[in-house]
Amino acid sequence: MGIPSFTVMLAYMLYSSSLAIELDSLHVSQSLSDGMTLVSQGGKFELGFFSPGNSSHKRYLGIWYKNIPIQTVVWVANRANPIIDFSGILTVNSTGNLLLTENGTEITFWSTISQKQAKNPVLKLLDSGNLVLRNEGESNPKAYLWQSFDYPSDTYLPTMKLGRDLRNGLDWRITCWKSPNDPSPGDFSLGLALSDYPVYYMMNGTQKVYRAGPWNGLYFSGFPDLSFTYVFEVTFVTNKDEISYSYNTKVDSIITRALISQTSQSLTQYIWDDDLQNWKSFGSKPVDVCDKYDLCGAFSYCSVAESKHVCQCFKGFSPKSPEAWNSNNSSQGCIRDKPLSCNNVTSTDGFVKYTGLKVPDTQHTKLHENINLDECRNLCLKNCSCMAYANSDIRGGGSGCAMWFGDLIDIKLFQSGGQDLYIRMPALESGLQHRNMKKVIIASTIAASSATLLLCVYVIYRLRRNNIEKSKIEGYMEGYVNDADLPLFDLLTITTATQKFSLNNKIGQGGFGPVYKGRLADGLEIAVKRLSHSSTQGMTEFITEVKLIAKLQHRNLVKLLGCCIQGEEILLVYEYVVNGSLDTFIFDQTKSKLLDWPQRLGIIFGLTRGLLYLHQDSRLRIIHRDLKASNVLLDDKLNPKISDFGTARTFGGDQTEGNTNRVVGTYGYMAPEYAIDGLYSIKSDVFSFGILMMEIICGTKNRALCHANQTLNLIGYAWRLWKEEKALELIDSTIKESCIISEVMRCIHVSLLCVQQYPEDRPTMASVLLMLASEMDLDEPKEPGFFPKWVSIEANSQPHQCEVSTNDELTVTSLDGR
């Protein structure tokens, strides 16, 4: 390109010395040159020029994460056309298009074409990672002049759509880089193939590598990984304008991306691990040999559980080429043992039901969305070419009809999850039934809730203890409640709702007083706590804390509806959580049977998200300090809600720990550094969570447990079994039939990591979520805190007996000198 001009050399000096000039937008009168960057409003993403790998002389315009130390590029403009020096410049022209040129020349390396009318175009980088060109003041995505999300590179980001824009003819497809040093399009891509029953394929050029399976209303048929839904919310849209799939995180602090790679020949979901300062794999597709497209040929299925041959013919079929089949070459598939009877007039054929499958390839299918399964069967039976049928939507017992014609290929048998498929068979064989595979029941965790709870209590108690007059209490609290946007209930309303605090309405007794069930005049069910003892904490401190957390919202935190302060009555009004506390389920021999493993796993994930919100995603770090089974409530769908925040503490900014001279918590759940030294942190909550998770798995309280003439707490017993490689003995007998061993073992492993003696060894809740929901490698746990010396109070008082006390009252220990 000749000798660099002074301008180019200056841009290079600015870039190399990291003195980049940052902009928040780019107008027609402005330009972005090498060494300058465009930064999203929240500081999450950055647009600028970069050189990948060791390609120091090739410059590309791209987007990367701004605050992640490992430069991770998620989009590239001029993928196949690099600039060979530092002279690149990006401009917005008056017609509403972007131009990437070489400074001082008219050579164009990349440009956009917008069909929409530009009025006052401006370029913005959004916190989603989407680069948008829009008219000034326009925020409607449908009105954008152009957006990078319409032209993905190799990275699939949250809220980005994958599929087809039918209105504008866009193919939302991700395509890998050719190599780590070359962002030009490689061979592997992932996109949607249009048909009556559309499906996503991973392609190697024009060859199909992996098929996700059609969308069945809950997930893709070939991707029944339920742990994915514990971390992500997914959306599938199909209408006349588009067919698209997108995802988003359920936890704001999670940074994630999906990457298609030429090297790994896979699509891998990554999540940023802030503890390790690195990207961790959350999972990838293809997963195993059975994900290889059409591995087994027609009328067969693939199962990794088969020890001799992963490919198996369906009942009533035999290998088309036995010799090739026995040599592990299954590509020719299987053929029927007996012909079908269909002759276009009458048919005595029937259907065999198979369960737990990834349904066949949908290239030759017909979709009828408005008929039921019986009607689908009859319709398929009347057509001699119809080889199978199934529900197209499996939600709510199933609806819609999908019919397959011709050979049935690319079918996988799952060990859990999967769909039902009805395959056409001759009459004499249609009575055959395939062995049933266990179905995983998805425990929905969609509910809206918030956290304030009992911090209000301390404000009220402090006022009472100081003998403030009734009118002043009411006036003060009315001002507080209005400030916190909480309703102030009238006492008559509450007494009417609870039938004058009738004993028949009493549903519990806590450290702060009795709890009553009530029903308001509009039919809303409530839980009312009638407070009965005072606080030792300062009024100002607790008023400040309550004001700060009153507006927190999360689906896994119980919701405070309001207060009532009249006369001597001081009441807190909560949403009524119909199934009561978790301890009444998992520690009860009868009710524990109502919680199978998928439901318990859903509860574990819900608690994980709730704590993560408190520790990291709320405006202040909130330490619960008394997490236990009795402080977890279950709603009508058995979704968990963390309750009882009367002992909680808040931190500001980067503060992560504190100390106290009053240790308030529950024996059996307190971290050692908190119980002994009064030091509390997010890691002390993690310890309590680890105890609770082990209790959910085992159905046994931690406080005392008998084994081999010794008294151990549950964690001590679990540690012993873990070291002896006998951890499976911990599993509650009521869930052994419904559990997936790999999932339970991972939960036990994570639980032991959470209860390690030293706080610095324990993971954060963000890491816990990643470890539970992915297949990432886990560290070997170290010895738990308080093991083997820590046993319960009950055990010490009666060393030769093993009893688990039902007394879960708070224990307060004063620590002198702190």
| 4-39 pLDDT per residue, tens | 444 444 444 444 444 457 788 899 988 999 999 999
Q: Kindly state whether residues 143 and 281 are assigned to the same domain.
A: no
On whether both 161 and 211 belong to a single domain, the answer is yes
Q: Note down the domain range covering 469.
A: 450-575
Contact 49, 86 (CB under 8 A): yes
Pairing, β 569-575 against β 525-530: antiparallel
Domain endpoint, select from 510, 542, 575: 575
Q: Is residue 127 part of a domain?
A: yes
Block residue for tokens 């179905």: 439
Same domain, 744 and 779: yes
Predicted local confidence at residue 53, as pLDDT:
83
Residue 709 in domain: yes
Q: Is residue 180 part of a domain?
A: yes
One DSSP character per residue, 180-230 reads TTEEEEEEEEEEEEPSSS-EEEEEETTEEEEE---B-SSSBTT---HHHHH
Average of per-residue pLDDT across 39-59: 90
For strands 174-179 and 182-193, give the pairing: antiparallel
Q: Give the pLDDT band (50/70/90) at residue 335.
A: very high
Which tokens go with 22? 């940052």
Q: Is residue 10 a part of any domain in this protein?
A: yes
What per-residue confidence (pLDDT) applies to 513?
A: 74
Shared-domain flag, residues 278 and 377: no
How far apart CA 334 and CA 101 sit, in angstroms, is 58
Most confident of 135-139, 380-384, 692-696, 793-797: 692-696
Most confident of 120-124, 271-275, 544-548: 120-124
Amino acid at 67: N
Of 122, 151, 180, which residue constitutes the final position of a domain?
A: 151
Cβ(413)–Cβ(437) under 8 Å? yes
Q: How far apart are CA 656 and CA 297, in angstroms?
A: 57
Average pLDDT value for residue range 783-790: 63
Give the per-residue pLDDT at 128: 95
Per-residue pLDDT for 546 more than 60? no
Q: Is the peptide bond before 339 cis (omega within 30 degrees of 0)?
A: no
pLDDT of residue 34: 92
Tell which wins on pLDDT, 109 or 451: 109
Cβ neighbours of 572 (radius 10 Å): 26
Q: What is the pLDDT of residue 704?
A: 52
Average pLDDT over residues 462-491: 55
Domain final residue, candidates 287, 317, 347 = 287
Q: Quick one: 676 and 791 in the same domain?
A: yes
Angle at which helix 765-773 crosses helix 682-698, to 10 degrees, equals 30
Q: Please check whether residues 722 and 592 belong to one and the same domain.
A: yes
384 with 498, same domain?
A: no
Asked if 323 and 267 count as a contact pair (C-beta separation under 8 A), the reply is no
Selecting among 410, 626, 644, 685, the annotated active-site residue is: 626
- Collapsed DSSP state (helix, strand, coil) of residue 141: helix
What is the spatial distance between Cα 410 and Cα 325, in angstroms, rounded to a whole number?
Answer: 16
d(CA 506, CA 508): 6
DSSP-derived 3-state class of residue 694? helix
Highest-pLDDT range among 164-178, 242-256, 479-493, 573-587: 164-178
Report CA 709 to chain centroid distance, whole Å.
Answer: 43
626 labelled catalytic: yes
- Categorize the per-residue pLDDT at 747 as very low, low, confident or very high, splitting at 50, 70 and 90: very high
Q: Is residue 807 part of a domain?
A: yes
pLDDT tens per residue, range 336-356: 999 998 765 566 889 999 999
Higher-scoring residue by pLDDT: 87, 478 = 87
More confident residue, 791 or 336: 336
**Which range is least confidently modeled, 47-51, 58-62, 225-229, 743-747?**
225-229
Is 443 part of a structural domain of the chain?
A: no
Query: 448 pLDDT exceeds 50?
Result: no
pLDDT at 407 over 60: yes
Query: Is pLDDT at 653 greater than 80 in this prediction?
Result: no
pLDDT of residue 756: 94
Q: For residues 568 and 352, what is the distance between their CA atoms, to the nearest angstrom? A: 70
pLDDT of residue 417: 79
Q: Which whole number is the average pLDDT over 251-258? A: 88
Predicted confidence at residue 126, as pLDDT, reads 95
Mean pLDDT of 749-766: 93
- Measure the CA–CA gap between 104 and 114, rounded to whole angstroms: 25
Whether 798 and 670 map to the same domain: the answer is: yes
Rounded to an integer, the average pLDDT of 734-757 is: 93
Lowest mean pLDDT among 94-108, 390-404, 448-462: 448-462
Rounded mean pLDDT of the chain? Answer: 81
pLDDT band at 428 (very low <50, low <70, confident <90, very high): low
62 falls within a domain? yes
Are residues 92 and 28 in contact, defined by beta-carbon separation less than 8 angstroms?
yes
From the number of C-beta atoms within 10 Å of its C-beta (0-12, 13-18, 19+), residue 500 rates as exposed
Domain CATH number, residue 1: 2.90.10.10
Q: Within a domain: residue 523? A: yes
How many domains does the chain divide into? Answer: 5
The better pLDDT of the pair 255, 708 is held by: 255
550 pLDDT tier (thresholds 50, 70, 90) = low
pTM of the model: 0.70
**C-alpha 766, offset from chain centre:** 11
Same domain, 494 and 412: no
pLDDT digits (tens, 9 = 90+) for 106-155: 899 999 988 788 888 999 999 999 999 999 888 787 889 999 999 999 99
7/156 same-domain check: no
Phi, psi values for residue 405, rounded to 5°: -120, 140
Tell me how crowded residue 476 is: count the other CB atoms within 10 A of its CB.
17
Share of the chain above pLDDT 70, in %: 79
Q: Look at residue 545 and tell me whether its pLDDT is greater than 50.
A: no
Which of 75, 85, 39, 248 minimizes the C-alpha distance to 174? Answer: 75
Instruction: Identify the band that residue 328 occupies on the pLDDT scale cut at 50, 70 and 90.
Output: confident
**For the chain, the helix, strand and coil percentages under 3-state DSSP, each to the nearest 5:** 25, 30, 45
Q: Which of 240-249, 286-295, 609-618, 700-709 has the lowest mean pLDDT?
A: 700-709
pLDDT band at 214 (very low <50, low <70, confident <90, very high): very high
Instruction: State the pLDDT confidence band at 652, using cuts at 50, 70 and 90.
Output: low
Q: In degrees, to the nearest 5, what angle opens at C-alpha 533 toward C-alphas 530 and 535?
A: 120
User: Which amino acid does the sequence have at 338?
Assistant: K
Same domain, 418 and 541: no
pLDDT at 473 over 50: no
Both tokens assigned to 427: 């009459």
Instruction: With cut-offs at 50, 70 and 90, classify the pLDDT of residue 802.
Output: very low
The CATH number of residue 561's host domain is: 3.30.200.20
Q: Kindly tell me if the per-residue pLDDT of 201 is higher than 70.
A: yes
In this structure, the answer to whether residues 523 and 383 fall within a common structural domain is no
